[in-house]
Amino acid sequence: MDRVALRGLKARGHHGVFQKEREEGQTFIVDLTLGLDTRPAAADDDLAKTVHYGIVAEEVVAVVEGEPVDLIETLAERIAQTCLKHEGVREVEVCVHKPDAPITVPFDDVTVTITRSRV
Of 10, 20, 85, 98, catalytic = 98
Count how many residues are written for the chain: 119
Angle at 32 between CA 54 and CA 5, to 5 degrees: 65
Please say if 10 is a catalytic residue: no
Q: Supply the residues annotated as catalytic.
A: 98
